[in-house]
Amino acid sequence: MNVIYVHRWSELSPMELRARSIEPKEVAEEFSILEVRSLKALEGLAGYHKVAEIISVRGERPELWLDDKAKWTVSFYGEVENPEKIYSELKEWVNESSYKARPVPHRFRWMDGREVSKLIAKGGTEFIVAGLGGRVYLGRTVMVFDYESFKKRDMLRPYHDPKVNIPSRLARALLNLLSARAGERLLDPFCGMGTILQEGAMMGLRPYGLDISKKMVKYARANSAWLAREEGVEDFGARIKVGDARELTRYFREESMDLVATEPVLLPYIKGLPSRRRAMRLLKDVKEVYEAAIEEIVKVLRPGGRLGIVLPGLKTNDGGIATLEVREAYGLEPLWKTVKVEGDAVLRLINTFRKPA
Ligand SMILES: C[S@@+](CC[C@H](N)C(=O)[O-])C[C@H]1O[C@@H](n2cnc3c(N)ncnc32)[C@H](O)[C@@H]1O
């Protein structure tokens, strides 16, 4: 089937598909066009809002049927000329092929995914119109991102703090970029409250954690026990240790891990944009920890193992970005190109590597 895959992140989303060996046929800022055998191929991905099965390319009249009195709506993505005309045409087609179906308006160019989920659950339909390079695809939404289950893992676990934790959705994308497979051993040496480890457990990985703070380890263990109760996954709390990531090989054997995924020390929150000099000074303070930890991470990875590391970026008042660089001198090969993901206050740079086999 051919689908419109509506992106969550313009750069990261297509990359996550490629890491799963799905090569998009076309890539736009807001969506990709893909061919997949079934929707199962897209399960567990983090980088989409919606997936719509393509029912026509502009010009062709699609086969349509909607339930009697069903509600329907339409969302637009990409470069679509004259959306009003497309809307009226669609309305005409729907009216001719269904009994009393009613359009539901919304305030933006597109309806929010959460709203779409509710609409579909009640037997409604969302159409998606996606325009790219003069072509206009018409699709019918068949899959919506499971916002609720990710939100639950972020917000309903015993310990959480959005200022410190990586969002679980981004943690999932990071693990997907590493092509993590069930049964693989995953280590987060700066595990904090255990968000990345939690996502690993949801994917059937075997999580291991380390954090320098006793309090964080206590929190991560409580979160692990909660997840085990809620989701029926393994409680990995006993595999989280207190320790310094700069001495990782004191706690974990060399070449014992298939995957390391981590977001180490965050920078202090600063109001406004710093000068480049100030930004570099802040980064210098954390550089030593990063460098020493990465050297140790390389040792605990098995040959062929993969590392996903989120580095902090700071936007500076000269319009640039100051960041740390992970040099290839550590003997690692880059896996995917570095991608930027902007949060409310932080800029994250997602770096992925492979240890040569
Ligand atoms: C940004 S938080 C980690 C968030 C976490 N990856 C998650 O999944 O939510 C950074 C953590 O690194 C820990 N940390 C700082 N320096 C460390 C070190 N040298 N070794 C191990 N952990 C350290 C802090 O205690 C903090 O919990």
Using CA positions, which residue lies closest to atom 15 of ligand 1? 265
Distance CA(23)–CA(247), nearest Å, equals 40
Q: What residues does each domain of the chain span?
A: 2-145, 148-354
Most ligand 1 atoms within 8 A of CB, residue of 169, 188, 211 to mutate: 211
CATH hierarchy code of domain 148-354? 3.40.50.150
Q: What pLDDT, on a 0 to 100 scale, did the predictor assign at position 265? A: 80
Question: Cβ–Cβ contacts within 10 Å for residue 317, how many?
Answer: 12
The DSSP H or E segment spanning 210 is strand 206-211
Residue 139, classed as helix, strand or coil, is: strand
Q: What pLDDT, on a 0 to 100 scale, did the predictor assign at position 355? A: 96
Tens-digit pLDDT profile for residues 188-216: 999 999 999 999 999 999 999 999 999 99
Query: The whole model's pTM is what?
Result: 0.95
Minimum-distance ligand 1 atom for the alpha carbon of 189? 21
Regarding the beta carbon of 313 and ligand 1, being less than 6 Å apart is answered no
| Planar angle of CA 301, 303, 304, nearest 5 degrees | 100
The DSSP H or E segment spanning 224 is helix 214-231
**pLDDT string in tens for the chain (357-residue length):** 999 999 999 999 999 999 999 999 999 999 999 999 999 999 999 999 999 999 999 768 888 888 888 999 999 999 999 899 999 999 999 998 888 889 998 778 999 999 999 999 999 999 999 999 889 999 999 999 999 999 999 999 999 998 889 999 999 999 999 999 999 999 999 999 999 999 999 999 999 999 999 999 999 999 999 999 999 999 999 999 999 999 999 999 999 999 999 999 877 777 788 898 988 888 888 888 988 999 999 999 999 999 999 998 888 888 888 888 766 668 899 999 999 998 665 689 999 999 999
Residues 6 or more apart in contact with residue 84 via CB below 8 angstroms = none
Nearest by Cα to 50 from 93, 4, 99:
4
Residues 6 or more apart in contact with residue 315 via CB below 8 angstroms = 273, 321, 347
What's the CATH class of domain 2-145?
A: alpha beta
Q: For residue 343, how far is its CA from the centre of ligand 1 (angstroms)?
A: 18
In contact, 51 and 116? CB cutoff 8 Å: no
What is the token pair recorded at 202? 């949801």
In contact, 213 and 235? CB cutoff 8 Å: no
Q: What pLDDT, on a 0 to 100 scale, did the predictor assign at position 313? A: 87
Regarding the beta carbon of 242 and ligand 1, being less than 6 Å apart is answered no
- Long-range (24+ apart) CB contacts under 8 A made by 78-83 are 78/28, 78/29, 78/30, 78/31, 78/130, 78/131, 78/132, 79/131, 79/132, 79/133, 80/129, 80/130, 80/131, 80/136, 81/131, 83/109, 83/129
Question: Cβ–Cβ contacts within 10 Å for residue 8, how many?
Answer: 19
DSSP 298-334: HHHEEEEEEEEEEEEEEE-TTS-EEE----GGGSPEE
Minimum-distance ligand 1 atom for the alpha carbon of 198? 8
Per residue in 30-66, is it b (16+ CB within 10 Å) or e — as a string? bbbbbebeeeebbeebbbbbbbbbbbbeeeeeeebeb
Distance CA(310)–CA(333), nearest Å, equals 16
In contact, 212 and 241? CB cutoff 8 Å: no
Q: For residue 318, how far is its CA from the centre of ligand 1 (angstroms)?
A: 30
Q: What pLDDT, on a 0 to 100 scale, did the predictor assign at position 328? A: 60
Q: What pLDDT, on a 0 to 100 scale, did the predictor assign at position 329? A: 64
Residue with tokens 């939404």: 141
Regarding the beta carbon of 265 and ligand 1, being less than 6 Å apart is answered yes
In contact, 351 and 310? CB cutoff 8 Å: yes
The amino acid that residue 233 corresponds to is V
